[in-house]
């Protein structure tokens, strides 16, 4: 333990203890200050119990049935692709490197997309990444095309009710790339 950081470690230990006791009533009987072996065993029990209940598959609902359900409710039969606008080639307001730097520097923590590039990494590397990202954004705007990778999302089904029985009982949460959201 580094000098002067004992208070921080104690504060973290108190927070973990409070979370553990809040999460499970069985943890309330364990004195974490005297026997850490029992505390960790109980914590593993709580974690395994939560994981088993949360990740247990729902009978009759598969990834394919969820995919079919989401595809059925998100399809617009009368969709027509818009015509490419020629006015986009006459871009006068370029996105500057400084604007991209400021945008990256102000990124808040959020979920990562398929590229697994976290917002903190882009924020940390903003001085290095600003120029190439500005060029990429400008090329995208001039061409009038968003890269197809930026349109791809991870869809996570989150239950709307405690005991989901149908695909409609799940809410689809789409997570796109951090750069896609910033564009």
Q: Tell me: the pLDDT tens digits for 6-61?
A: 777 777 777 776 666 655 555 556 665 666 777 677 766 666 654 444 455 677 78
The residue that leads in pLDDT, 82 or 149, is 149
Binned at pLDDT 50, 70 and 90, residue 121 comes out as: very high
Higher pLDDT, 16 or 94: 94
Strands 154-159 and 170-175: antiparallel
Sorted by where each begins, the domain ranges of the chain are 6-55, 89-182
What does the pLDDT read at residue 112?
A: 87
Q: Which two tokens mark 52?
A: 């088993």
- Among 28-37, 103-112, 163-172, the range scoring the smallest mean pLDDT is 28-37
Residue 126: count other Cβ atoms within 10 Å of its Cβ: 18
What pLDDT does 85 receive? Answer: 64
Give the pLDDT score at 51: 43
| CB contact set of 137 (below 8 Å; sequence gap of 6+) | 95, 100, 183
- What's residue 52's pLDDT? 42
Which of 58-72, 76-90, 165-179 bottoms out in mean pLDDT, i.e. has the lowest? 76-90
pLDDT of residue 34: 63
User: Would you state the pLDDT for residue 103?
Assistant: 94
When pLDDT is averaged across residues 136-161 and rounded to a whole number, the result is: 88
pTM of the full predicted structure? 0.56
Mean pLDDT over all residues of the chain? Answer: 79
Q: What is the pLDDT of residues 65-81, one digit of tens each?
A: 888 888 888 777 888 87
The region of weakest confidence among 46-60, 92-106, 116-130 is 46-60
Which pLDDT band holds residue 5 (cuts at 50, 70, 90)? confident
């Amino acid at each position: 333990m580094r000098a002067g950081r004992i208070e921080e470690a104690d504060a973290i230990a108190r927070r973990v203890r409070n979370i553990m006791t809040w999460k499970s009533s069985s943890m309330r009987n364990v004195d974490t200050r005297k026997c850490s072996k029992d505390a960790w065993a109980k914590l593993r029990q709580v974690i395994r119990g939560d994981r088993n209940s949360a990740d247990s598959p729902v009978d009759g609902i598969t990834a394919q049935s969820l995919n079919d359900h989401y595809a059925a409710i998100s399809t617009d039969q009368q969709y027509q692709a818009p015509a490419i606008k020629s006015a986009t080639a006459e871009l006068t307001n370029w996105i500057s490197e400084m604007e991209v730097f400021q945008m990256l520097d102000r990124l808040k923590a959020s979920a990562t997309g398929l590229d697994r590039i976290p917002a903190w990494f882009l924020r940390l590397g903003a001085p290095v990444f600003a120029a190439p990202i500005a060029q990429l954004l400008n090329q995208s705007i001039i061409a009038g095309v968003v890269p197809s990778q930026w349109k791809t999302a991870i869809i996570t089904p989150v239950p709307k009710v405690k005991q989901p029985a149908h695909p409609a009982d799940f809410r689809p949460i789409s997570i796109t790339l951090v750069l896609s959201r910033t564009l």
